[in-house]
Chains A and B, each alone.
Chain A
């Protein structure tokens, strides 16, 4: 340990020396003249302050179509500056100009945005205009990921895996009325699984604090109850269990430790041993969980792997790379690209936000030190598989889709069981200004074969409608009547059957409680038949 400290501190010492030299260099450079003005603006090339078409005498208060001053000219100039922050007095036009220039410089489809006068629109409205209206091949909007949130919400942090809540993950099967909010899985030993709540997968949440989840318009109240900000909050719930019974109870929020990798198991089948695990979130603590899962399955001598990422909305991309390496192994991934990050054509060489040279993300063969339990640089185990079954849903998104795309990029056969993924081959570096953080798509991820066009997601080849990029596999609805990892659960069962026979069940949608047809709760506790429902398109999961 002493050696570790010694090395680490020597490293810091070196960094201090470099910093000193850097400061001296800067000071010397400053002594060269310190000229200012528009001529220097172009010297920021390579970072987000860069822009084009800068007239040297441009008046920032006058909108000229197609002429963009640097975003930095308007940063922190706020209509309502907050004392004690970096905010400075400004106007809503300044805020709009910041967004306009930032978007023109970094938005992936900047050339598809109509340039509008920033003086004519409120800032929220103006931001909404700063996106493409183009459609995907299936007719969906190409950009479904353009939004903003208060900065104080964005910057809040927590110990990895720790949150305030109840210990349940809710799948929102429809985000607009009639909504369906269904318990996807629970964490053991939490408020969700103890006391009166005793929730299980498949329970449908009908009301929260008296507000109708299905048709209610009080989003704020629903969010407050479903996602408590702190511990010790009491909220009332009415749910309908899988047997159709409706009941009410109160849950108290607590500090919850989530387990991003769960249900690691081996199933004996006619075609050999099948390994399965559920991977729910690309958070830091997943690194140790993934390594342990792979080691466990390697020790069991599995022949096939079923990776369940149906609820995994993404997260740290490097974790997706680590997992993909552990699936594919060194032979298939050595020297290959996991994902290349591509910005708009103004920035082919440098990341416009960090200024760093754009370099592809490799398949990581060693741990990067995300998890406190895994020493940085630990060699990762690998299964060297040429084929993997992946269970997906509409919540399978972004970094999770990268796993699928990048494995295909190195010729691992990906067989998809489930429903169409969310379709987000994109990412962004959020920009904070005047108390609001803005999310606008800035880059696209591309695999080793140069492919990254799946804005409609990936779909099993027999998907009936709204299909994205078709992959081998089976369209199978989410089966809330069985536990995740249960060989009888519809998606896992279909994967096993496909391994053995190469066949699929009839394409299906949602298994679970019947869809409510009105805002009122049933008058009695009539058992509702578990019907095969229509193919659902989950727009996003409530996470």
Chain B
């Protein structure tokens, strides 16, 4: 039982630290975007979606700090539309910065991924 309490306390501390850190952050846009920064964003979003293939616009996170990702529309000349009545919601990600680091956050889960080789500034 003591072990559970320790685990809970440690988790609470981690969350609290993250809370304090991210609380000082603000939404951000990429600056000086290039192929490398685009690729890093793409790899990060793909990883956030468990490694699935993701196609992003060339100007992703340059005009809006929010990125909405949804399943591809499947095209085929010989089969019907694949869905038509989707009860789900798309995934939403946000680019934020604390002035130093650029981080992508999954809006639903709160999980975040730091970006190593991009530049961003407050939106």
Contact = CB atoms under 8 A, between A and B. Distances in A.
Given A9-B110, A163-B55, A2 B84 contact: no
B73 interface: yes
B78 interface: yes
Nearest to B76: A223
B89 A318 contact: yes
A193 to B, nearest CB: 19
Interface string B21-42: 0111111000000000000000
A163 B19 contact: no
B9 to A, nearest CB: 11
Interface residues of B, number: 55
Interface in A136-182: 144-145, 147, 149, 152-160, 162-164, 172, 175, 179, 181
Interface string A96-109: 00000000000000
A16 B15 contact: yes
A85 B76 CA distance: 27
Nearest to A541: B81
A372 B34 CA distance: 22
Given A314-B84, A315-B86, A317-B87, A6 B92 contact: no
B60 interface: yes
A318 B4 CA distance: 41
Contacts of A172: 77
Among the interface residues B52, B53, B55, which one has the most CB atoms of the partner chain A within 10 A?
Answer: B55
A440 to B, nearest CB: 12
Given A5-B25, A6-B23, A426-B85, A370 B90 contact: yes
Interface of B: 4, 8, 11-12, 15-16, 18-19, 22-27, 49, 52-58, 60, 64, 66-92, 96, 107, 109-110
- 9 interchain residue pairs of minimum CB distance: A398-B84, A314-B84, A427-B85, A12-B110, A227-B75, A372-B66, A158-B55, A540-B80, A313-B81
23 contacts: A16-B15, A149-B79, A152-B53, A156-B54, A157-B52, A157-B55, A157-B72, A158-B54, A158-B70, A159-B67, A160-B68, A160-B70, A179-B77, A227-B76, A255-B58, A317-B85, A317-B86, A361-B87, A372-B64, A372-B66, A373-B64, A539-B80, A542-B76
